[in-house]
Structure 1
Amino acid sequence: MTSTTAQSSTPSPTPTPTPEAPPAPERPTDMQSADSEGAAAAASYFMQLYPYVLATGDLAEWDALSATTCEFCSNTRAEVERLQAAGQRSVGGVTVLSATGQDLGANGWYRATLSVAITPSEDIDKAGVVVDTNDGGTYTIDVAMTWSDGWTIDSAGIVETPVE
């Protein structure tokens, strides 16, 4: 008796390539100085950490720079924890278009104003399936920060820049 096996005409599913996690941003050397240039560099670095923590779940550097009272910082931490608990990560990017720092005088207080472009991002599960998307845009970010043997981000306010 001869048997034959029918060939399936349905192709096997191909896994979606999962984007690689981004490398950790490098601390700029200007960030070592307690002046307006250092404030701008520290705020820029902090915002470059944003897509990194969402993609990797690595909050060590984020937490080292964040004041416990910083609402933006703690909200970002909560989002990272939510993604990690769901077995997901968010893949996107931030480009700092401009950064200026300002020394506010006494007690180590500084302000930095950034213009950033945030690329559209995707929340991806462990299988590489996109489970959510987030729009990008251009934003102005005002950062309040202090210097005391290093930078601490005290607050960050984000406002979308209208398209002209």
Structure 2
Amino acid sequence: MHRGTATADPAPSAPATGEQASPSSSPSPSATAAAPQWTAAMDEVSVNGARGVAQYFLDLYPYVLTTGDTTEWDRLSHPECVYCADVRDTFGSKPAHGQLPSADWTLVRSVELDPGVYFSVEFKLVETDAANVATDFTVLVGVVRESDHWLIRAVQIDEVAAAGE
């Protein structure tokens, strides 16, 4: 995954209301990625809707890397999302070559920070490369609702230090 911490503004400091979800995982494609499908549940203005949008956006990543098609990525990217722009500028219209690492996403929690407006979704990512070396990451996604439309406001990816490091 394209790494880096990229947030334009910190999340609003409204009191957190929301839920902690039980972990679930979904592997992402590794060689030639198909575009993920938008579902009706993602249209819901709720923690569940924001969670679905965050997962959908992250599932777009291998599609953008293998195709260079950023149409849907751009539609969901907030103008101030530094990570979103970095991925678009790096991989848009010039797809990556070679084997992509496999990715196993597990939902850690979803929180509604500003009711109906700002949500934080946290995932654990285990990325395994072609040599079968696994690396763990924490991925935070800021999801906002603006003008009846979901946008990804920020993505922060931090590698989790292995035990003993």
Give TM-score, length-normalised by structure 2: 0.68
Larger radius of gyration: 1
Match of 1:147 in 2: 145
Q: Whose helix proportion is higher, 1 or 2? A: 1
Shift of the alpha carbon at 1:119? 3.4
Q: Is the 8 A contact 1:51 1:90 kept in 2?
A: no
In the alignment, structure 1 residue 65 sits paired with structure 2 residue 63 = no
Match of 1:158 in 2: 157
* Rounded Cα–Cα distance in structure 2 between residues aligned with 1:75 and 1:40: 22
Report how many residues are paired.
131
Change (3 A) 1:111 1:89: same
- State the SS of the aligned residue for 1:104: strand
Q: Is the 8 A contact 2:144 2:153 kept in 1?
A: yes
* Rounded Cα–Cα distance in structure 2 between residues aligned with 1:88 and 1:146: 29
- State the SS of the aligned residue for 2:83: helix
Unaligned ranges ≥5, structure 2: 1-29
Unaligned ranges ≥5, structure 1: 1-18, 122-132
Structure 1 stretches (4+) deviating beyond 4 angstroms? none
Q: Is the 8 A contact 2:36 2:59 kept in 1?
A: yes
Give the aligned residue type for 1:38.
G
CA RMSD of aligned residues (A): 2.5
CA deviation profile, 1:127-151 (whole Å, cap 9, x unmatched): xxxxxx9x76221111112113221
Change (3 A) 1:96 1:28: farther
Give the aligned residue type for 1:100.
R
Higher RCO, Cα 8 Å, sep 6+: 2
Q: Is the 8 A contact 1:41 1:99 kept in 2?
A: no
Match of 2:135 in 1: 137
* Rounded Cα–Cα distance in structure 2 between residues aligned with 1:117 and 1:151: 26
* Rounded Cα–Cα distance in structure 1 between residues aligned with 2:152 and 2:79: 9
Match of 2:104 in 1: 95
Give the aligned residue type for 1:73.
C
* Rounded Cα–Cα distance in structure 1 between residues aligned with 2:107 and 2:115: 25
